[in-house]
């Protein structure tokens, strides 16, 4: 409970539901994006959008709203991504938990920076995530795959982040802000 002085509205059931739904927005949005990208929509390269969207969502929300994206939620999102995608079970979980850990670790520095610095940090994280995903997939399937799909995944993820970050920034400042409940 907040103990700072001031006038606050009464904590009614509707206000609590509003605050809960705003706090759940990042995880719900990420899960919905995973589900939508798994539907057979006939979009070229649609399978590659799923891990790119998951990585961008987890990085953004872990950086700007870590309370709404705890490790247990990231684990569930990674499991959902593994079950819906083509990667071996466990690969996306490890990658997304690693990205979450890096975003939370660098949070104090990155939240004070401009978009370009955050995006460049994400590009580096996405490169490491693509390499880790490729290595885990090779290790878990006991086959050596070409690294070309991992490079494409990195480029797609890095290119998708600005568009998603713009949408998420607007949501973060309005719709998904639990302080406005």
pLDDT tens profile 38-61: 888 888 777 888 999 999 999 999
Asked if the structure places residue 116 within a domain, the reply is yes
Query: Which domain does 117 fall in, by range?
Result: 15-180
Asked if the structure places residue 7 within a domain, the reply is no
Asked if the structure places residue 130 within a domain, the reply is yes
- Cα gap 161→151, rounded to integer Å: 16
**What is this structure's pTM?**
0.86
What is the rounded average pLDDT for all residues in the chain?
A: 89
Asked if the structure places residue 9 within a domain, the reply is no
Asked if the structure places residue 6 within a domain, the reply is no
Asked if the structure places residue 4 within a domain, the reply is no
Does pLDDT of 16 surpass 70? Answer: yes
Does pLDDT of 136 surpass 90? Answer: yes
Domains in the chain, number: 1
Asked if the structure places residue 2 within a domain, the reply is no
Asked if the structure places residue 3 within a domain, the reply is no
b/e burial code for range 42-62 (CB count within 10 A of at least 16 → b): eeeeeebbbbbbbbbbbbbbb
Query: Which range has the worst mean pLDDT, 15-24, 138-147, 148-157?
Result: 15-24
Is-contact 52 152, C-beta < 8 A?
no
Does pLDDT of 176 surpass 90? Answer: no
- Tell me the per-residue pLDDT of 72-130, one tens digit each, with 9 for 90 and over: 999 999 999 999 987 889 999 999 999 999 999 999 999 999 999 999 999 999 999 99
């Amino acid at each position: 409970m907040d103990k700072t002085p001031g006038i606050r509205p009464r904590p009614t059931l509707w206000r609590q539901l509003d605050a809960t739904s705003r706090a759940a927005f990042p995880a719900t949005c990420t899960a919905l994006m995973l589900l939508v990208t798994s539907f057979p929509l006939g979009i070229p390269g649609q399978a590659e959008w799923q891990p790119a969207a998951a990585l961008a969502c987890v990085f953004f929300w872990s950086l700007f709203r870590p309370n709404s994206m705890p490790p247990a939620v990231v684990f569930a999102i990674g499991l959902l991504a593994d079950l819906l995608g083509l990667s071996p079970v466990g690969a996306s979980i490890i990658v997304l938990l690693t990205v979450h850990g890096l975003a939370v670790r660098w949070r104090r520095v990155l939240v004070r920076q401009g978009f370009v610095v955050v995006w460049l940090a994400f590009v580096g994280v996405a490169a490491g995530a693509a390499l880790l995903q490729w290595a885990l997939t090779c290790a878990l399937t006991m086959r050596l795959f070409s690294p070309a799909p991992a490079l494409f995944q990195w480029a797609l993820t890095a290119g998708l982040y600005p568009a998603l970050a713009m949408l998420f920034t607007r949501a973060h400042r309005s719709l998904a802000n639990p302080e406005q409940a």
